[in-house]
Amino acid sequence: MKVLLTGSFGFIGAAIDRQLTERGDEVVRVDAVIPQAHDGTAEVPDDVHRLDVRDAVEWASLLDGVDVVCHQAAMVGAGVTVADMPLYAGHNDLGTAALLAAMHDRGVDALVMASSMVVYGEGRYTCEEHGRQAPGVRRRAALDAGDFDNHCPHCGRALGWELVPEDARLDPRSSYAASKLAQEHYAYAWVRQAGARAIGLRYHNVYGPGMPRDTPYSGVAAIFRSSLEAGQAPKVFEDGGQMRDFVHVDDVARANLASIDAVVGREPESWSAYNVSSGTPVPILRVAELLSQAAGGAAPQVTGDYRPGDVRHVVASPELAAAELGFRAQVTPEQGIEEFASAPLR
């Protein structure tokens, strides 16, 4: 199979590239090598086309003969400042729209696209007495007072979390989240207008060898790693009780290959979204503890600080991906995070 892979030089893209190459697929590699993901010191292989997806109509000839596009190129992170909004809208939304237009022009009608758990906003919650609830935005006054939970609007109790299925409401809470949901909407519009087929993969917290280090846009596991390497305690926001699902980059690559195989055989005008997760939720504080213990470093420091765009709990149900793609993660967080403590970073 011939696959055009955007973001091929990135953290996740490189893992997908390795697995595609190992099984014998032909890979056309495209990456803009943006500074938010690359520090400029890494040597870019000659077979990577240093091109921007926002200009995809100009380089559309690379799509000739391609069976499927695996679209990983994106500006990532929670959105450090409001000033980041144009970067997210440009790289993620305009870039995806330009790529889809170029694909249609060249007759490529199959797409696998990186989305994110952030499209859900707050996850799924329930009250022991009043059942499932849809929490609003957490108020700054409560966060400043150290109250990080979502509360039942009827009785005021802290809400418990549940696994989030793909048909949960979509409610982005940050500029990055808004851009990822917009990518999904463009893809969904494209499959209907172009008679095409697409799969969106909603990644949960991806970690593993090759993660970018020491940038505000790095994942939390890499930020904890960098603190430990500097001889500092990992700083954990809120009270550390935020529940997340950490999924290893090799599992994310496996999910992409399963999706590439699935999407080319689907009917026209087909769109599906799937959670890509380990299926094993873990508190953020536990992640910091595992890394500290494995590295022999300082114990984590719970700061009580917070970021306004963050959500309290969001953890995924892996069942739809298992049923329809045959994908289940192979690396547990306990195993993978311990190994990540000494894995090479980018």
Give residue 44's pLDDT. Answer: 79
Query: What's this model's pTM, rounded to 2 decimal places?
Result: 0.93
H/E segment holding residue 95: helix 95-106
User: How many residues are given for the chain?
Assistant: 346
Give residue 95's pLDDT. Answer: 97
Residue 318: name the closest of 267, 269, 268, 258 by CA: 258
Give residue 306's pLDDT. Answer: 93
Helix, strand, coil in percent for the chain, rounding step 5: 35, 20, 45
What ranges do the domains of the chain cover?
2-121+162-208+246-279+314-331
Give residue 198's pLDDT. Answer: 98
| Assigned token pair, 248 | 């290893």
Residue in 120, 176, 186, 306 annotated catalytic:
176
Question: 10-residue block means of pLDDT along the chain (346 residues)?
Answer: 96 96 98 71 82 96 98 79 88 97 98 96 93 90 96 95 95 90 98 98 94 70 90 96 95 98 97 97 96 94 90 94 98 92 84
Tokens 């966060």 found at: 143
Give residue 214's pLDDT. Answer: 64
Instruction: Give the span between the Cα atoms of 247 and 148, in whole angstroms.
Output: 24
Give residue 79's pLDDT. Answer: 57
Beta strands in the chain (DSSP E): 2-6, 26-30, 48-49, 68-71, 110-116, 124-127, 131-133, 160-162, 197-203, 205-207, 235-236, 243-244, 246-248, 270-276, 282-283, 301-302
Residue 95: name the closest of 139, 130, 57 by CA: 57
Tokens 């696998």 found at: 112
Q: Rounded to the nearest 10 degrees, how much is the dihedral formed by the CA atoms of 208, 212, 218, 222?
A: 50
The domain made up of 2-121+162-208+246-279+314-331 is a member of CATH 3.40.50.720: yes
Active site (annotated) includes residue 125? no
Give residue 228's pLDDT. Answer: 92
Asked if 119 and 184 count as a contact pair (C-beta separation under 8 A), the reply is: yes
Give residue 222's pLDDT. Answer: 87
